[in-house]
Amino acid sequence: MNSMQRFLTTLSHKEPDQVPYFLLLTLHGAKELNMSIKDYYSDPDSVAEAQLMMQKKYHHDCLYSFYYASIETEAFGGDTRFYDDGPPNAIGSCLQVKDNFKSLKVPDIKNIPSLGKVIRTTEILKKNTGDKIPIIGVVMSPFSLPIMQIGFEKYLELIHFERELFWRLIEVNIEFCINWANAQISAGATAICYFDPMSSPTILPKEIYLETGYEISKKTISAIKGPTAVHLASGKSIPIIPEISETGTGVIGVSCDENLSFVKEACKNKITVLGNLNGLELCNWSVHETAQKVKKCIAEAGQNGGYILSDTHGEIPYQVPEENLLCIGETIREFGSYPLKF
């Protein structure tokens, strides 16, 4: 099987030839090309080149067109700070709550240069691979994007005390998110990773999620013209798996703080599980420890398909050594071939 066949078989909750694995590599591309992270993300051709190089090197089952989270706040007038060895971050707030969002308009995707770079990268990846390897695009959920737009503290105040303003901002974000996701799909993305850490019970009580993030994700995901994966970016998922499975998504990214066997059982025949290697610990694991963790994931979630091995956060840290990334693939090829040897 090629990577696309493996991916689609897994989504149908059947066993492919081996457990598929997604190395969600971003910053490592700059390292591969010996470029600074800032220069790397200024050139969409370089990002595409590095993604293709890393897929050939590690033999994982996806290409990842994601740049960095704050690229979406740039669409609303925000700025990004770049670092030498870590992910770029949003600088301050790009929106002011005091303005009541009355004049806030949905950014035009076509007029945002940074988003245009992602589209260019996606088009190059599609041209080079066709339908053989899944291309994973990314959007921040309309519910989680305000953390960067106005700041976490102000956003919590909005949710709890100013629901009218909250919904005004969310309405703009929903339209932006749908447009951004569909633009990536039109450019060649196979599926969209819908990052939504705010919905996790790690951050928000379930009763508030049901009133907010749950309704938002149902409305947004239903309008995205391709498969989606809801990713809680290291947040716990088990208490809201039934609701996430009702949003129309096909995959859920789960936390390393959760028992993978329990997660798999909760998702059985409803939604494919993605995870849950601890990316931060992966920086310091030995090759032996890496292999043991991979085998544990396969044993707990690999049976009967419906499982994609990946990291827990949706982005592998810059500091993870090459030998550990190579070990993941080697271990899967030895122990993750179906029928499983466990």
d(CA 177, CA 185): 12
Q: What is the pLDDT of the chain when averaged over all its residues? A: 97
Record the pTM: 0.97
Say how many CA atoms lie within 13 Å of 212 toward its Cβ. Answer: 28
Q: Which of 193, 186, 252, 201 is nearest to 72 (CA)?
A: 193
Per residue in 94-124, pLDDT (tens digit) is 998 877 788 899 999 999 999 999 999 999 9
pLDDT of 68 strictly over 80: yes
Per-residue pLDDT, averaged over 252-267, amounts to 97
The fold adopted by the segment(s) 3-335 is TIM Barrel (3.20.20)
pLDDT of 216 strictly over 90: yes
Per-residue pLDDT, averaged over 72-95, amounts to 95
- Give residue 137's identity as a one-letter amino acid code: G
pLDDT of residue 97: 81
DSSP-assigned states of every residue in 13-58: T---SB--B----STHHHHHTT--HHHHTT-HHHHHHHHHHHHHHH
Per residue in 33-48, pLDDT (tens digit) is 999 999 999 999 999 9
Label the pairing between strands 79-81 and 89-91: antiparallel
- Domains of the chain: which residue ranges? 3-335
Let me know: does 309 contact 337? Beta carbons within 8 Å: no
What's the Cα-to-Cα distance from 156 to each of 146, 160, 185, 197, 230, rounded to whole Å?
A: 10, 6, 32, 14, 21
Let me know: does 342 contact 298? Beta carbons within 8 Å: yes
Let me know: does 193 contact 136? Beta carbons within 8 Å: yes
Query: Binning pLDDT at 50, 70 and 90, where does residue 138 land?
Result: very high
pLDDT of residue 101: 85
pLDDT of residue 22: 98
pLDDT of residue 6: 98
pLDDT of residue 108: 97
pLDDT of residue 208: 98
